[in-house]
Amino acid sequence: MKIDLDKILSNFYEEAQGVKIPRDIDQLRIKYLGRRNGFLVRVTQEIPKLPVSKRRGIGSKVTEVRSAIERVLADKTKTESEKIRPDVDVTTPGKKTDVGSLHPLTLVIEEVKAIFHYLGFSWVDGPEVDSDLYNFQKLNMPPDHPARDVQQTYYINTDTLLRTHTSNMQVRYLETHQPPVRVLFPGRAYRRDMPDATHLPSFYQLEGLLVDATTSMTDLLGSLDYFAKKFFGEKSKIRIYGHNFPYTEPSIEVEVFHPEKGWIEILGAGMVHPNVLKNGKIDQDKFRGWAFGMGLDRLAMIKYGIHDIRVLYKNDLRFLTQF
Ligand code: DAH
């Protein structure tokens, strides 16, 4: 027997054309794919008789032809069975698929990033489990510093903790990057707080850090004002207070004006303290910097009129799908 698979396939196509009803489809299947005497089985039985030089490639060709035939047969069975099954109502509406939406905190993070990106900032992640060294000491807060008290800390052991703020990234970043630096550190922070409408032990912050040859407090204020106008609307205003953070000198606190709630504090900021620059191996004769840290949960609450921070973490779809 001469092996001509192409011929078998074209014969099949020709024969298959008129075939519609299930019994004929089955017969066609038996004729070509039947296990005892189908055309393809017969071909397979011939292979060992061929000279070795002619066998190459025949196996895969058989598989190819088999799948082509199977495809045609399956197609026919499908359309035929649909026609002869009165229990299938093809007019039934399809199942509705729920479409997801972004979490309000994700929206806020993305928006803040986009606003500062326009001012030349990029962003990086940082470790949530960090050392006392980067979270406190390198930020000018030695072990006995009173400023540590206001940030009740989750310690894992004496040297390791859950970061109490995203400021832990400042010196980490400066140690490995040369100015000019314009970078954001968004992420989670942790403090031992009792949960209530405005506090949770885990929350989100976003830190900004800029170090360059010529920059000043005016740039900081201008950037924050620009941010407030983009984020809260062109009519919004900011005002500043003197404050005290160990890692900035001078330090300020910034409030934004909200038409219903009045002035609300949104962030801390200041000129990066000389000790912090030194710890970050920055040449202080050439460079200076400013930094700020904002609470993202609070921004989300102000922006979307949320009154209880806890709903941001409850995964209640009735709440989440509104965004
Ligand atoms: N780390 C401060 C906090 O957790 C916020 C902050 C204040 C960050 C001043 C800064 C800064 O970078 O310069 O409340």
DSSP states of 210-259 as a string? EEESS--HHHHHHHHHHHHHHHH-TT--EEEEEE--TTEEEEEEEEEEET
Q: What percent of the chain has pLDDT over 70?
A: 97
pLDDT of residue 55: 83
Pairing mode, strands 202-212 and 238-243: unpaired
Cα(99) to centroid(ligand 1), Å? 37
Contact indicator for 195, 237 with CB cutoff of 8 Å: no
pLDDT level of residue 84 (50, 70, 90 thresholds): low
For ligand 1, mutation pick of 292, 296, 298 (most atoms within 8 Å of CB): 292
Q: What integer is the mean pLDDT of 200-210?
A: 97
pLDDT of 2 > 70? The answer is no
pLDDT of residue 93: 87
pLDDT of residue 80: 53
Crossing angle between the packed helical segments 39-46 and 22-33, to the nearest 10 degrees: 0
> For atom 6 of ligand 1, which residue has the closest CA?
293
pLDDT of residue 49: 87
pLDDT level of residue 82 (50, 70, 90 thresholds): low
Token pair listed for 77: 């069975």
Q: What integer is the mean pLDDT of 15-21?
A: 88
For ligand 1, mutation pick of 164, 215, 247, 275 (most atoms within 8 Å of CB): 247
Crossing angle between the packed helical segments 5-17 and 22-33, to the nearest 10 degrees: 170
pLDDT of residue 79: 61
pLDDT of residue 50: 85
pLDDT of 1 > 60? The answer is no
Q: What integer is the mean pLDDT of 231-238?
A: 92
pLDDT of 28 > 70? The answer is yes
Cα(114) to centroid(ligand 1), Å? 21
Cα(102) to centroid(ligand 1), Å? 27
pLDDT of 209 > 80? The answer is yes
Cα(44) to centroid(ligand 1), Å? 77
Tell me if residue 28 falls in helix, strand or coil.
helix
pLDDT tens profile 135-157: 999 999 998 888 787 778 999 99
| Atom of ligand 1 at shortest range from CA of 170 | 12
pLDDT of residue 131: 97
Read off φ and ψ for residue 199, nearest 5 degrees.
-130, 145
Token pair listed for 179: 């100015």
Q: What integer is the mean pLDDT of 69-88?
A: 73
pLDDT of 124 > 60? The answer is yes
Residues with CB under 6 A from ligand 1: 165, 167, 207, 245, 248, 268-270, 291-293
Instruction: Enumerate the H helices of the chain as residue ranges.
Output: 5-17, 22-33, 39-46, 52-55, 58-83, 104-118, 132-135, 169-176, 217-232, 274-279, 296-304, 317-320
pLDDT level of residue 251 (50, 70, 90 thresholds): very high
166 vs 163: CA distance, rounded Å: 7
Q: What integer is the mean pLDDT of 227-232?
A: 95
| Atom of ligand 1 at shortest range from CA of 151 | 4
Select the more confidently predicted residue: 119 or 86.
119
25 vs 314: CA distance, rounded Å: 57
pLDDT of residue 83: 56
Select the more confidently predicted residue: 321 or 123.
123
